[in-house]
Amino acid sequence: MGIRLLTSAATQDSLLITPMDPTTKKKKFWSLSGSGKLSMIIALVARWFLGAVFIYMGLVKALDPVTFLKLVREYEMVGNPLLLNLIASVLPWFEVFCGVLLLAGVAVRGTALMVLGMLIPFTLIVLKRALEIASAEGILFCAVKFNCGCGGGDVYICQKLIENTGLMLLTLFPLAGLGKKLSLRFSFWPVETVKESPSNGMGLELGEAPSNK
């Protein structure tokens, strides 16, 4: 059995889907208010900036894997040499991959979620190491300066925490669905559509079971 939604002639016209004017999409941006344009531009710049940062940080580590391997070893969280080598060789290129996806606008929401999933634990690990250094050397927390392995060389811990917090906030724009302008494919999830039934006065067809003929 199929499922068919019947509508009266008075309401059928209001439910039918009409083709979209090809110029509507082009005019949509220019028809936005000033605040709407500004928010769209900010979200777009945020996505591009986030992508560029991850490409840069990934390439710095990927082009010098030995130094990155030594920095990862200093955290003393992974003791297996095979796993250490795997992290040092794969993680930088994965960061570059995520950055390219953000710049191109491909699977932006999923990529932003992965970026956020990397930033949170990385920030906590860096924070833990900074606390250990401050305790061991008896210095103020914000006076701690070391190479955290993020691709930027030696940096003060308070500065690094602010930078990572800013990057995490930037991921909220694509996660909220903003910054779709100039995206190749913002999301891989299919968009559900409603098909129009033949104009026989019966209404909109929602689904139909296969015939048993």
| Domain assignments of the chain as residue spans, ordered by start | 38-185
% the chain with pLDDT above 90: 46
| Model confidence at 209: pLDDT above 60 | no
Q: What is the pTM of this model?
A: 0.69
Amino acid at 153: G
pLDDT of 10 reads: 45
* 15 alpha carbon, distance to own chain's centre: 35
Phi, psi of 154 (to 5 degrees): -65, 135
Residues 6+ away with beta carbon under 8 Å from 54: 95, 96, 98, 99, 102, 115
Phi, psi of 147 (to 5 degrees): -90, 110
pLDDT of 33 reads: 56
Render pLDDT for 150-182 as a digit per residue (tens, 0 to 9). 888 899 999 999 999 999 999 999 888 887 776
**Token pair recorded at residue 147:** 């190479």
| Model confidence at 125: pLDDT above 60 | yes
% the chain with pLDDT above 70: 69
Q: How does 14-24 read in b/e, with b if 16+ C-beta sit within 10 Å?
A: eeeeeeeeeee
Phi, psi of 176 (to 5 degrees): -85, 0
Beta strand segments in 17-153, E: 145-147
Render pLDDT for 129-150 as a digit per residue (tens, 0 to 9). 999 999 999 999 999 999 998 8
| Model confidence at 111: pLDDT above 90 | yes
Phi, psi of 157 (to 5 degrees): -60, -40
Mean pLDDT of the chain: 78
